[in-house]
């Protein structure tokens, strides 16, 4: 990352801006290695990375989410799920999810798809209990009031902490529905994404999708939901208020950056004319 003030005479000039926006977390080698997954995300609107977590990692994340869920009731709206526990601000509530938010493969795919610097938009969870109805299909970037067509604005992900099946509420997607020509919910039937625990599903913010119905008799379906957006867009969840500063100080530098504690494009995000990272370091 560039040092404070090291922008020459014109921080808004083309050379500086190109250098700034070329400063990514992932490397070109990361993005090349993941070229097939990046291509599928662009073409189909979603991609699965199977078994991205070890059993030990999975156990730690389950324990962390279960602890948070112990104090979380069901959501209070049909859209959020009246039989779904949906805690917010997970970044500041359990460090078990930190490796998910900064997972190098996910970050590389997001940066490649958006061709831009990225940040965390929100970090929540959804634990679907038996009897939860399917969620209304929607697009995650629908709240950005920009005219179509426009480039990719966000990428969403959900980490499966339990096996995702068509019975317990595996996420619903409509493949290909992210295309600019698809302005309203398409008539095509949504499919349930099935994947083993420890896997992650990524989809572009323009894809029509929703939470599936949990029609099982006694199975819960736990998932950690992480949304990423371009670094110059407003985050859906206000990370600066949701995560206490003392918690941010404990985060790895990459995660601090993803949470928004840095300067974008040489001019966005300053505190007293300097990088907010200095507030954490001093």
**Over the stretch 55-65, which tens digit does the pLDDT of each residue have?**
999 999 999 99
Asked if residue 67 is part of any domain, the answer here is: yes
pLDDT above 90 as % of the chain: 78
- pLDDT digits over 72-120, tens only? 999 999 999 999 999 999 999 999 999 999 999 999 999 999 999 999 9
User: What local confidence, expressed as pLDDT, does residue 7 receive?
Assistant: 56
Number of domains in the chain: 1
211-245 pLDDT per residue, tens:
999 999 999 999 999 999 999 999 999 999 999 99
Q: Does residue 6 lie in a domain region?
A: no
Residue 120 is predicted with a pLDDT of 98
Q: What is the pLDDT of residue 181?
A: 65
- The residue-averaged pLDDT of 167-171 equals 97
Instruction: Give the pLDDT confidence score for residue 203 in this predicted structure.
Output: 98
Q: How far apart are CA 51 and CA 38, in angstroms?
A: 17
- Is position 8 within any domain? no
Q: 191 near 175, Cβ under 8 Å?
A: yes
Q: What pLDDT, on the 0 to 100 scale, is given for residue 267?
A: 84
Please tell me the predicted confidence (pLDDT) of residue 8: 59
- Residue 137 pLDDT class (50, 70, 90 cuts): very high
User: Does 96 reside within a domain?
Assistant: yes
- Residue 6's pLDDT is 53
Rounded to whole angstroms, the Cα distance separating 173 from 56 reads 29
> Edge-to-edge strand order for the sheet containing 191-192?
191-192, 172-173, 209-210
Residue 94, pLDDT score: 97
pLDDT at 1 over 50: no
Please check the confidence at residue 20 and state whether its pLDDT lies above 90.
no
Residue 2 has pLDDT above 70, yes or no: no
With respect to residue 9, please indicate whether it lies within any of the assigned structural domains: no
Which tokens go with 224? Answer: 């950690």
Which CATH number fits the domain that encloses residue 201?
2.60.120.620
CB 71 within 8 A of CB 125: no
Mean pLDDT of the chain: 93
Which DSSP letter does residue 230 get?
E
- Select from 86, 63, 211, 237 the least CA-distant residue to 137: 211
273 Cβ partners below 8 Å, 6+ apart? 4
pLDDT at 149: 82
- Global pTM? 0.94
Would you say residue 214 lies in a domain? yes
Q: What is the residue range of 74's domain? A: 14-281
3 within some domain: no
* Residue 7 lies inside a defined structural domain of this protein: no
């Amino acid at each position: 990352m560039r040092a404070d003030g090291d922008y020459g005479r014109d921080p808004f000039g083309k050379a500086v801006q190109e250098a700034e926006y070329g400063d990514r977390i992932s490397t070109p080698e990361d993005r090349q290695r993941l070229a097939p997954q990046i291509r599928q995300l662009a073409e189909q609107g979603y991609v699965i990375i199977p078994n991205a977590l070890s059993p030990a990692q999975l156990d730690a994340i389950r324990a962390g989410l279960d602890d948070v869920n112990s104090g979380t009731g069901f959501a209070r709206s049909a859209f959020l799920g009246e039989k779904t526990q949906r805690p917010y601000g997970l970044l500041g509530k359990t460090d078990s999810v930190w490796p998910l938010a900064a997972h190098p493969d996910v970050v590389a795919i997001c940066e490649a798809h958006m061709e831009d610097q990225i940040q965390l938009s929100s970090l929540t969870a959804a634990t679907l209990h038996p009897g939860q109805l399917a969620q209304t299909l929607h697009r995650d970037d629908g709240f950005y009031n920009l005219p179509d067509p426009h480039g990719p604005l966000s990428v969403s992900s959900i980490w499966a902490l339990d096996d995702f099946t068509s019975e317990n509420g595996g996420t619903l997607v409509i493949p290909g529905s992210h295309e600019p020509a698809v302005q309203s919910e398409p008539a095509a039937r949504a499919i349930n994404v099935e994947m083993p625990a420890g896997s992650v599903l990524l989809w572009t913010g323009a894809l029509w999708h929703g939470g599936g119905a949990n029609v099982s008799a006694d199975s819960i379906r736990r998932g950690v939901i992480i949304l990423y957006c371009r670094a110059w867009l407003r985050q859906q969840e206000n990370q600066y208020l949701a995560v206490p500063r003392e918690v941010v100080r404990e985060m790895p530098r990459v995660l601090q950056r993803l949470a928004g504690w840095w300067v974008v494009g040489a001019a966005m995000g300053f505190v007293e004319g300097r990088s907010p990272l200095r507030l954490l370091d001093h």
